[in-house]
Amino acid sequence: MKQINKNLWKKIAYLSAGFGIFVAILLIINYVQYSKLDPVNAKLIENLVERLNEDPNNEALRQEIRTIDLLSRKAYFTSQWQIKMGGYLLLVAVIVFVIAMQILLSGKREVEYIEKDDVFFAQAKARRWVALGGLLIVCFAMLSAYLSHQQLENKFLTKIKNEDLNKDSIENNSVNSENNLASEEIMDSLETSSNVDSATANLTPFPTVKENAENYPTFRGIGGNGIVYKKNVPTSWNGASKQNILWKLKLPLLGYNSPIIWGDKLFLSGADESKREIYCIDRNTGKLLWRHQVKNINGSPASAPKVTADTGHAAPTLATDGRRVYAIFSNGDILATDMEGNRVWARNLGVLGNHYGHSSSLMLFQDKLIVQYDQKSEAKVMALNTLTGKTIWSTPRKVKISWASPIVVYTGKQSEIILAADPFIASYNPYTGKENWKIDCIFGEVGPSPAYADGIVFATNEYANLTAIKLGETPEILWQTDEYLSDVPSPIATKDYLFLVTSYGAVACYGAKDGKKLWEHEFPNGFYGSPVLVNNNIYLVDMKGNTHIFSASDKFKLIGTNALGENSTCTPAFADGRIYIRGKENLYCIGK
């Protein structure tokens, strides 16, 4: 039998053990540092943004925010890489040490190759204690690496939550299970009105393509993709002087949803802790035609869930097919009325388990109402029958909470529902709910909805990345960048360009096919509303209520900036010759 080189393998064992312990200690120290420090400057950035809101013209402060934000993202990705690499190196060291020891101890345990002064290799008891101690250090180091990874991610991807929100989330989860049972019990006994609008009684079950094109049925237009085909849309107005302001209506209750339009009727919702309402407004005159109070729904919780002030109880935009109007609220109540405000059906989907409040807007596909319901206790996408409210299909999703909205697009061969939530972008068959594909490329508290153009899906989120996914038999990532990212506004795409809007006021244009940055521009105020493309111009409303209009091209060209005279965090709606913008308190109609 060939004699092993005992001295060589002893050296390898010593070196691998020493190296492993060194890496393990570094990982443990790393975890202790992350536990006590804020390595990503999250609180600093938040404070600077608050200062910028108070002084929006401070360019030096704006540049400081951009610099710190960029450095923080780089620090995050670098730290994540270092933690993962440290874990891999520790694992390699352990494997090498085990192999070396196996070789040294696998042969005959003859005294001839064990030196008397080599305590570690000569005494079994010493070997056991040293091995046990090393194993404990390694295990603790691996645990520290995992906790560091999670802790760093949490510091980047979650905003500061107070104790009340945490308590409310726990309470909502307990109520959620009870309401889910109640929802199942009322599935076959949904509240259906016998007073159906006679004007819609003889219509087809769902609108034609032409009908949809003539109206504005959902958030950001047909399919939610932000592409609108309307004529003679104004490019100049002023709220203070009332230039091109046709009418203004004070809304009864607060809401952050955007207007939708069918014919001469415009629909919105509003809510507070005790009331939930749907509004129908004559879009030509601004007259409130009717208001429907949402109450007496089986399974609805006795009290409203806690929400943050910037989300509220009526954040999701409604949907309409010209037959009925559909709305959802923060407490999980979802309902349909006819076009005259009479209830057709109503149900409760269960108390929504998230810490900001529900904001995913409703979407339509033929006779199906699409609901993205990515909550803490249960994530799923659903299709409800628009006539009865019954579930046609429901598909579970292994994702975290999402505040994004679904888009429905025709991708060349089929229609697809595309959703964004940590950790993936996914596509579903609107007829069956079956998953078509998914790509793991996004993380964090996802707010922006996806965008689509010419066979490419675009998705983004703050502290994650901007990703372009090329569709085909096997969808794949076409390009990625992390220079400009959004936490609220959704991107918009054409076959040539992708436009990315940030909440702190920066807008960037990328080549849709190659991801090359073509231009960037800083606006004075930040954005919560999303861009809409009309007549090759992009309309974008900032948080001060100013609508910036610029050309959808490879060079930045500002068409105009128009002041509403009131703050706004909503996305505008469009009709031929008209724009409708919801401010904090009023609804405005703009036209010539």
pLDDT in tens, 446-465: 999 999 999 999 999 998 99
Give the whole-angstrom CA distance, residue 456 versus residue 477: 9
Q: Where are the beta strands (DSSP E) in 471-513?
A: 476-481, 492-493, 497-501, 506-511
Q: Where are the beta strands (DSSP E) in 243-390?
A: 245-250, 260-262, 265-271, 276-282, 288-293, 319-320, 324-328, 333-338, 343-348, 363-365, 368-374, 379-385
Q: What percent of the chain has pLDDT over 70?
A: 73
For the stretch 59-97, pLDDT in tens is: 666 666 766 666 666 566 666 666 677 777 877 877 877
Which of 157, 182, 199 is the endpoint of a domain? 157
Q: Give the residue carrying structure tokens 């964004």.
A: 420
Asked whether residue 158 carries a pLDDT value surpassing 50, the answer given is no
Write out the H or E segment, with its range, that includes residue 214: helix 209-214
Rounded to two decimals, what is the model's pTM? 0.72
**One-letter amino acid identity for 355?**
H
- Whether residue 262 sits in one domain with residue 173: yes
- At what angle are helices 124-157 and 6-36 packed, to 10 degrees? 30
Neighbours of 381 (CB within 10 A): 26
- Whether residue 279 sits in one domain with residue 184: yes
The answer as to whether 469 is a domain residue is no
- Whether residue 266 sits in one domain with residue 139: no
Give the DSSP per-residue string, 66-93: HHHHHHHHHHHHHHHHHHHHHHHHHHHH
Exposure class string for 554-576: b at 16+ Cβ within 10 A, else e: eeeeeeeebebbbbbbbbbbbbe
pLDDT band at 428 (very low <50, low <70, confident <90, very high): very high
The answer as to whether 66 is a domain residue is yes
- At what angle are helices 59-106 and 124-157 packed, to 10 degrees? 160
- Whether residue 170 sits in one domain with residue 95: no
Q: What is the token pair recorded at 389? A: 């409210």
For the stretch 222-249, pLDDT in tens is: 999 999 999 999 999 999 999 999 999 9
- Tally of domains within the chain: 2
pLDDT score, position 398: 96
Burial of residue 35 (number of CB atoms within 10 Å: 0-12, 13-18, 19+): exposed
CB 440 within 8 Å of CB 390: no
- Whether residue 313 sits in one domain with residue 192: yes
CB 417 within 8 Å of CB 428: yes
- How large is the average pLDDT for residues 380-405? 97
Q: What percent of the chain has pLDDT over 90?
A: 62
The answer as to whether 378 is a domain residue is no
Q: Give me the residues paired with residue 173 across strands.
A: none
Lowest mean pLDDT among 43-57, 124-138, 413-427: 124-138
- Whether residue 298 sits in one domain with residue 180: yes
pLDDT score, position 6: 72
pLDDT band at 133 (very low <50, low <70, confident <90, very high): low
Residue 488 backbone zone (phi > 0: left; psi -120 to 50: alpha; other: beta): alpha
Higher-pLDDT residue of 424, 113: 424
pLDDT score, position 355: 86
Helix (H, G, I), strand (E, B) or coil at 226: coil
| Domain residue limits at 310 | 164-219+257-358
Lowest mean pLDDT among 178-192, 256-270, 538-552: 178-192
Give the whole-angstrom CA distance, residue 384 versus residue 364: 10
Which of 316, 338, 358 is the endpoint of a domain? 358
- How large is the average pLDDT for residues 497-514? 97
Measured CA angle at 548 (ends 571, 511), to 5 deg: 90
Nearest to 462 by CA among 256, 257, 165, 158: 158
The answer as to whether 471 is a domain residue is no
pLDDT score, position 95: 84
Q: What is the token pair recorded at 351? A: 């108390």
- Whether residue 283 sits in one domain with residue 143: no
Q: Give the residue carrying structure tokens 């399974």.
A: 299
Write out the H or E segment, with its range, that includes residue 410: strand 407-410
- Whether residue 327 sits in one domain with residue 199: yes
Lowest mean pLDDT among 12-16, 181-185, 314-318, 505-509: 181-185
CB 497 within 8 Å of CB 553: yes
Asked whether residue 156 carries a pLDDT value surpassing 90, the answer given is no
* pLDDT mean across residues, the chain: 83
Higher-pLDDT residue of 574, 187: 574
Which of 108, 124, 157 is the endpoint of a domain? 157
Exposure class string for 261-292: b at 16+ Cβ within 10 A, else e: bbeebbbbbbbeeeebbbbbbebeebeebeeb
Asked whether residue 155 carries a pLDDT value surpassing 70, the answer given is no
The answer as to whether 98 is a domain residue is yes
Nearest to 269 by CA among 282, 254, 283: 254
User: What torsion do the CA atoms of 514, 470, 572, 231 make, to the nearest 10 degrees?
Assistant: 80
- Whether residue 188 sits in one domain with residue 120: no
Q: Is the dihedral of CA 512, 484, 50, 153 positive or negative?
A: positive
- Whether residue 95 sits in one domain with residue 31: yes
Give the DSSP per-residue string, 378-395: -EEEEEEETTT--EEEEE
The answer as to whether 147 is a domain residue is yes
Cis peptide before 491 (omega within 30 of 0): no
pLDDT score, position 420: 97
Q: Give me the residues paired with residue 370 across strands.
A: 363, 383
Q: Is the dihedral of CA 74, 420, 544, 155 positive or negative?
A: negative
pLDDT score, position 192: 41
pLDDT band at 178 (very low <50, low <70, confident <90, very high): very low
CA–centroid distance for 185 within its chain: 31
- Whether residue 86 sits in one domain with residue 176: no
Sheet containing 497-501: give its strands across: 492-493, 497-501, 506-511, 517-522
pLDDT score, position 324: 98
pLDDT score, position 164: 36
The answer as to whether 141 is a domain residue is yes
CATH number at residue 340: 2.40.10.480
Helix (H, G, I), strand (E, B) or coil at 541: strand
pLDDT score, position 221: 96
- Whether residue 210 sits in one domain with residue 82: no
Helix residue spans in 107-208 (DSSP H): 119-122, 124-157, 163-185
pLDDT score, position 565: 95
Lowest mean pLDDT among 155-169, 373-387, 414-428: 155-169
pLDDT score, position 123: 54
Q: What is the token pair recorded at 507? A: 């807008």
The answer as to whether 10 is a domain residue is yes
pLDDT band at 44 (very low <50, low <70, confident <90, very high): low
